[in-house]
Amino acid sequence: MKKLNTNEIEKNLKKLSGWSLNDDMIEKSFTFKDFKEAFSVMTHIAFVCEKQNHHPNWENAYNSLTIKLSTHDAGGITQKDIDLAKTIDDIVAQG
Ligand SMILES: C[C@H](O)[C@H](O)[C@H]1CNC2=NC(N)=NC(=O)C2=N1
């Protein structure tokens, strides 16, 4: 899987909502009603990630969730991370 360069990353981020480039990862934070909602969304995301064999770096504190994506095998950001970011936004939008 080919690493995307900064221009390609920024172009892709414009098509997403709320994701930003932070070092060699794309990152977005979410706030949910409570812990149960946050964890239920995380569980949904986890199973989709497992299916795609592409996993997030993430931090959850009560109702907040920060997700960071990069492709470890490529040592940077690839199309897999962009695609997963879109999938995550779709899951969060479903509630
Ligand atoms: C062996 C396994 O398929 C690999 O380690 C997968 C697992 N999940 C992964 N997730 C992410 N974000 N990047 C990877 O390179 C990656 N590789």
Which range marks the domain in which residue 39 is found?
6-94
Ligand 1 atom closest to the Cα of residue 74 is 15
Q: CATH number for the domain including 55?
A: 3.30.1360.20
Average pLDDT in the 31-39 region?
98
Average pLDDT in the 33-46 region?
98
1 inside domain: no
Q: Using DSSP, state whether 33 is helix, strand or coil.
A: coil
Nearest CA owner, ligand 1 atom 2: 53
82 inside domain: yes
pLDDT band (50, 70, 90) for residue 37: very high
Is the ipTM above a cut-off of 0.95? yes
Nearest CA owner, ligand 1 atom 8: 54
Number of domains in the chain: 1
Average pLDDT in the 42-68 region?
98
11 inside domain: yes
Q: What pLDDT, in 10s, does the model give residues 1-29?
A: 899 999 999 999 999 999 999 989 999 99
Q: What is the pTM of this model?
A: 0.96
Give the neighbor-by-neighbor strand order of the sheet with 64-69.
20-22, 25-31, 64-69, 57-61
Cα-to-centroid distance, 51 and ligand 1 (Å): 11
